Amino acid sequence: MMTKRYSEVWDLEVFFQGGSESPEFASHLQSAQEAISSFKKEVGNWNPNDQVSEGNRLASLVEMFDGAAKKVRQAGAFVSCLQAQDTEDKKAGQLRAAVTELSASLQTALTVFDQKLAGFSTEVWDELLQSGLLNELRFVLTERRERAAERLSEQEESAINALSVDGYHGWGQMYDLLVSSTKINYKEGSLSVGQAANKLSDADRNVRKEIFTEWEKAWGEKEDFYSKTLNHLAGFRLNVYKLRGWEDVLKEPLDINRMQKETLDAMWQVISENKEPFVQFLNRKAKLLGLEKLSWFDLDAPIGTAESKMSYQQGADFIVDNFGQFGKEMADFAKMAFENKWIEAEDRPGKAPGGFHTFFPESSQSRIFMTYSGTPSNVSTLAHELGHGFHTYAMRDLHLLNRNYAMNVAETASTFAEMIVSDASLKNSKSKEEKLSLLEDKIQRSVALLMNIHARFLFETKFYEKRKQGLVNAETLNELMKDAQTEAYGGALEEYHPLFWASKLHFYITGVPFYNFPYTFGYLFSLGIYAMAQEEGQGYEEKYIALLKDSASMTVEELAQKHLNVDLTKRDFWEKAVRMCVEDVEEFLALTE
């Protein structure tokens, strides 16, 4: 008999006792509010002379900011966990609103703070960063100062912020409302968008085809509403850029991801030139499904039924063992997370879908959320989230401000951990069927990141260019999307999804512009690191940890140069990474010859 050594339910009581009714948490919110207020007041009272003597004051403001930010993040992490573990927890929803308000209020104070940083002359600024805390934080502080300098005055930016509530974010919320009112007809009844999306991976082609026909119809019926929403959202963004004097629509997303245009171009170019193996994969998949060519609705169709299951304990051991093949620190971290109840994995009703990792900075602990039912993809998800956990763990001794890595490197450690485990699963597979289905799973990720996300990027860049000239109607959006998909999938599909611009939430996210390429970057960046780890074998872990530690305090180009000795603006690195994806395809093609 296997004994259950690891709890499948996490421990949140160590943070605040009593869940969403916790009095301890209520007073935490209070103290976060106070920390923000005093930071705000201090910043408001600060009228820096352009002199090095301001250094101490600046350092103390930074510490106040840090303290307030820690409290807000601690609160945000707790509420995320509460909401995920029980979707019926109404009180948690109210707490979410309170945390959102705290973040907004901290953000306002920061805008003022950043403007004051921009007020220093370059000479004095450089002098200020010579030593101590300010030196340790020189990258992030300089980044804040430079971003502020590229923006409008404090009053103008505040006005934009205020107007964006209704004029920008409001359109993003309008999208959510439209989606929730969109129903997909199926048989006698109707399905929500989420339910219908799940059926697009049904084993029965008739089901997929029927759903997809209704799917296109449903988005098409409301296409004018969706196009209006997208046009206004994009129009607001473009007008803000114009006011700030920003020509290129990619300026902000590149800046957020701390990367150069040359890097992005090199990455897409290599991807564009390597479509052929993936087209071959899609053609082979079509053949395995008894089809001439695949259509959009066949992309997620399963090719086999072979699936081995693992209990939670087995899955946990498998992960710890295989992390151990790579390095001791990573294995020890995973073991500690399992032992100390950092993971919520129980398969029970009432939990939110999906998985995530979150970090409690005041306690220096992570929590991982998911629902584990024993499939190989559950094991991958668990490894993925533990990878995120290891990333924050590797940074544990750093100042909090040096731990805010951008979205494109956020997925590095998670993908890396996932690769270790999926490679091990492949080696471990007991039959050809099982191996094929695991391999297909892996290749599907490449297809998603090198084809689907590429289509999104091609569409979005073209759309924004057109939008500069005026409103873009639904018909044109459909055409743009179809062209983008045809290019990104190398013409491999028989039927595309022209209304993808309406059905994909990512185009409507107002928090982050261009919510697509950072994923592809993160995936390939991580594969490149993985390739090096395999070349170097044991002993690489130390280098890997050093890279993770630096991942939030330099640009991605500097990070790659310093730790991998590669130039991301050149093709070599990207070729090596894409090559790893192609090798999977080659193996798949050989196995299914």
- Cβ proximity to Zn ion: between 297 and 519 the closer is 519
User: What residues pair up with 489 in beta bridges, in sequence order?
Assistant: none
Which one of 414, 446, 516, 553 is in contact with Zn ion (CB under 5 A)? 414
Question: Shortest distance, CB of residue 515 to Zn ion, whole angstroms?
Answer: 14
Q: Which token pair is 315?
A: 């899955």
Stretch that binds Zn ion, among 61-69, 121-129, 412-420, 492-500 (CB under 5 A): 412-420
- Tell me the C-alpha distance between 593 and 87, whole Å: 47
Question: Shortest distance, CB of residue 581 to Zn ion, whole angstroms?
Answer: 18
By CB neighbour count within 10 A (0-12 exposed, 13-18 middle, 19+ buried), where does 502 fall? buried
User: Taking a C-beta distance cutoff of 8 angstroms, is the pair 495, 295 a contact?
Assistant: yes
Question: Shortest distance, CB of residue 384 to Zn ion, whole angstroms?
Answer: 6
Torsion, CA 518, CA 522, CA 523, CA 526, rounded to 10? 170
Stretch that binds Zn ion, among 174-182, 246-254, 411-419, 464-472 (CB under 5 A): 411-419
- Cβ proximity to Zn ion: between 229 and 358 the closer is 358
User: Taking a C-beta distance cutoff of 8 angstroms, is the pair 15, 363 a contact?
Assistant: yes
Residues binding Zn ion: number (CB under 5 A): 1
DSSP 8-state secondary structure symbol assigned to residue 294: B
Question: Shortest distance, CB of residue 382 to Zn ion, whole angstroms?
Answer: 12
- Cβ proximity to Zn ion: between 414 and 485 the closer is 414
Per-position DSSP letters for 395-461, written without gaps between them: TTTS-GGGG---HHHHHHHHHHHHHHHHHHHHHH--SHHHHHHHHHHHHHHHHIIIIIHHHHHHHHH
Q: Tell me which residues in 539-578 interact with Zn ion (CB under 5 A).
A: none
Question: Shortest distance, CB of residue 366 to Zn ion, whole angstroms?
Answer: 13
- Cβ proximity to Zn ion: between 235 and 528 the closer is 528
- Cβ proximity to Zn ion: between 229 and 414 the closer is 414
**Which residue's CB atom is positioned nearest to Zn ion?**
414
- Cβ proximity to Zn ion: between 231 and 526 the closer is 526
Angle between helix 517-536 and helix 407-428 axes, rounded to 10 deg: 50
- Cβ proximity to Zn ion: between 111 and 375 the closer is 375
Stretch that binds Zn ion, among 135-143, 147-155, 203-211, 407-415 (CB under 5 A): 407-415
CA distances from 494 to 486, 575, 589 (A): 10, 29, 21
Residues 6+ apart with CB under 8 A from 287: none
User: Taking a C-beta distance cutoff of 8 angstroms, is the pair 433, 303 a contact?
Assistant: no
Question: Shortest distance, CB of residue 410 to Zn ion, whole angstroms?
Answer: 7
- Tell me the C-alpha distance between 494 and 293, whole Å: 6
User: What residues pair up with 358 in beta bridges, in sequence order?
Assistant: 367
Stretch that binds Zn ion, among 155-163, 238-246, 414-422, 442-450 (CB under 5 A): 414-422
Site string for Zn ion, 36-55 (x = CB under 5 A): --------------------
- Cβ proximity to Zn ion: between 120 and 515 the closer is 515
Residues 6+ apart with CB under 8 A from 22: 16
Per the rule left: phi > 0, alpha: psi between -120 and 50, beta: everything else, 258 is left
Question: Shortest distance, CB of residue 343 to Zn ion, whole angstroms?
Answer: 15
Question: Shortest distance, CB of residue 284 to Zn ion, whole angstroms?
Answer: 29
- Cβ proximity to Zn ion: between 414 and 429 the closer is 414
Sheet of strand 356-360: strand arrangement: 343-344, 365-369, 356-360
- Cβ proximity to Zn ion: between 26 and 256 the closer is 256
Stretch that binds Zn ion, among 154-162, 408-416, 538-546, 575-583 (CB under 5 A): 408-416
Stretch that binds Zn ion, among 176-184, 322-330, 409-417, 572-580 (CB under 5 A): 409-417
- Cβ proximity to Zn ion: between 365 and 414 the closer is 414
Q: Tell me which residues in 176-235 interact with Zn ion (CB under 5 A).
A: none
Report which of 296, 274, 209, 236 is spatially closest to residue 481, judged by C-alpha positions: 296
User: Taking a C-beta distance cutoff of 8 angstroms, is the pair 48, 119 a contact?
Assistant: yes
Question: Shortest distance, CB of residue 222 to Zn ion, whole angstroms?
Answer: 31
380 binds Zn ion per the rule CB under 5 A: no
Stretch that binds Zn ion, among 320-328, 393-401, 413-421, 474-482 (CB under 5 A): 413-421
Task: Return residues touching Zn ion (CB under 5 A).
Answer: 414
